[in-house]
Structure formats: structure tokens, C-alpha cells
Amino acid sequence: MRIKFRRGGQRKFLNLVVVKLNVVSLRGILQFGFDVKYSTLKNYYNESRLLPEEFFDDLCEVSGIDKSDLEFEYLSENWGRVKGGKLGKRGFNIRDYLSAIKDFFLGKIPYSFLVSIRDKSKIAEIVFESRDFEKFTEFLYSFFDDKVLVENRLKHENKHHEINLKYGVSSKFILRSYVRNGKKVYRPAVLSTSNSLMSRWSLKKHWDYFYEQTSMSDASDTDREINKVLLEVREFVEGKNDPTCALRKYPSG
């Protein structure tokens, strides 16, 4: 897939990436480990070539740009237009996971199966882990050069951790690594470690928990997709006429 902006839009996007990453020039983008030649990057900047979807996603992620704020469309490699947005990346089969979430809340699969789908989708090596936020913070600042990016990621992951505390869910802070385009890429995350506890929750409590975890203003694209599925499930359940349905009492707001 390729990304198509309006005329001049691709150059504006790359200029925004330069600003967000706090680098002095277009070349500075490459210091973040992208497997792209500078000559190719200049072609993207001159708009003589369209950005590949994978590279576009990486640029948005590392610079903290919300794709929903951008105007663009997806084109297939043979320039056929594709309707709709991207749902999967980095081997994370989001379609399967979203389908499993819907099936879980409709009572078709157990929680253990949902967890197996999630864990199977996130094959990565854990470089560092700690249940102590201060130790995790200290490690990230020593590991990454971009202090602003670290600060933003820490704020985001701590929100997830605070929601876990609210629901009595144990969790740990981790730094994952995985190989992409022949290079290692690193991502901080919060890993829940209370699956046995959560397997005993009611469907309503699961829904509340999932909804809070995916409703942040700076939610990832994956979390936004999960949030949409949760709202679809709630709308479906509220339309049922069965007062004994275990899913009836979802929050209305």
C-alpha cells in the first residue's frame, strides 16, 4: 500500500515529522533507525514517490503524530484506490483480535482464548521489565536519546498502569524489541499479569476495563479500533430484548 496526500501534503507531513522529532533537517529523521536511503527520503520529500504505508506508520508512531489529524488515502501498489483505513501492522493481526473481542463480549469464546489471540499477535523480546515506575523511567532515559519522546511515552504508559491499579490488575512496565526491515525497533508498554483474576470478571467489568484502557485522548490506532468494537457491542446489546442477558448493563455514556 502507498499513502497519497493532496499536492504538497506529503512534503508538509515530512516537515511536521522533522519538527516533532526536533531534528535540524530531513536527514535527521534517519537517525531514528529507519531503513531508508537519504536519496529515497528526498524523493518522498520532493513528492516524486509516494510514501509506503509501513514507513508512513513508523514515522507517525515515532514522532507522535495522530493519523486521524491528517488528510490522506490509501492506494494499492498498482494505484487502485482502497477504501477504509489500515487495521494491521508489524505482524499484529488486528482483524483477528478485533473479531475475538467481539466474540468474547457476545459470549462465544472464553477469556483465555481472547488472551491467547492477543499474546500470539505480539511476538517480541522483552529487553527490560520492572514493576517500579521510577526504575522504568530511569532505564528509558538512559536507553533513548530523545528525551521528549520518552517523556510522552512514559505519560501514556503510566495512564494504562493507573487504570490497572483502579481495577486491581497487576502489571509491569516493559521495553519490547522486535526486528523490522532487518533492524531492531523498541517500544515501551505496560503488560498486565493478572489473567487468572480477570478470567473471573463479569462481562460488564471486562467491558468497563477495556473501554477505559482504549478511551485515552492519545490512544493508539489499535486502541481506537478496539474502542469502536466495544461501542458496537454495546449498541447491539442495548437493542436486544432479553432482560436476562449478561451484557445488558453496559454504561450508556
- Give the tens place of pLDDT for each residue, 2-46: 888 888 899 999 999 999 998 889 999 998 888 888 989 998 998
- CB–CB of 191/174 below 8 Å? yes
pLDDT, tens digit (0-9, with 9 covering 90-100), for 181-198: 677 778 888 988 887 788
188 in Cβ contact with 146 (< 8 Å):
no
**What nine digits make up the cell of 248?**
445488558
- Rg, C-alpha atoms of the chain: 20
Q: What pLDDT sits at residue 120?
A: 58
User: pLDDT value at position 87?
Assistant: 32
Residue indicated by cell numbers 499513502: 3
Helix (H, G, I), strand (E, B) or coil at 27: helix
**Average pLDDT score over residue span 146-171:** 91
pLDDT for 119 equals 65
Overall pTM > 0.85: no
213, amino acid identity: Q
Distance CA 73, CA 3 (A): 6
Distant-in-sequence, close-in-space partners of 18: CB < 8 Å, separation ≥ 6: 25, 26, 28, 29
Reduce the DSSP state of residue 247 to 3 states and report it: coil
Nearest in space to 221 (alpha carbons), one of 114, 65, 81, 105: 65
Q: How far apart are CA 154 and CA 52, in angstroms?
A: 29
Query: Would you place residue 164 in the very low, low, confident or very high pLDDT band (cuts 50, 70, 90)?
Result: very high
**Mean model confidence pLDDT for the chain:** 80
Please give the Cα distance from 211 to 191 (Å, whole number).
17
Provide CB contacts within 8 A for 36, sequence distance 6+.
30, 55
**pLDDT at res. 125:** 75
Residue 60 scores a pLDDT above 60: yes
Give percent of the chain above pLDDT 90: 28
Task: Tell me if 52 sits within 8 A of 89, measured CB to CB.
Answer: no
Q: According to the model, what pLDDT value does residue 52 have? A: 86
* Mean pLDDT of the 148-174 span: 91
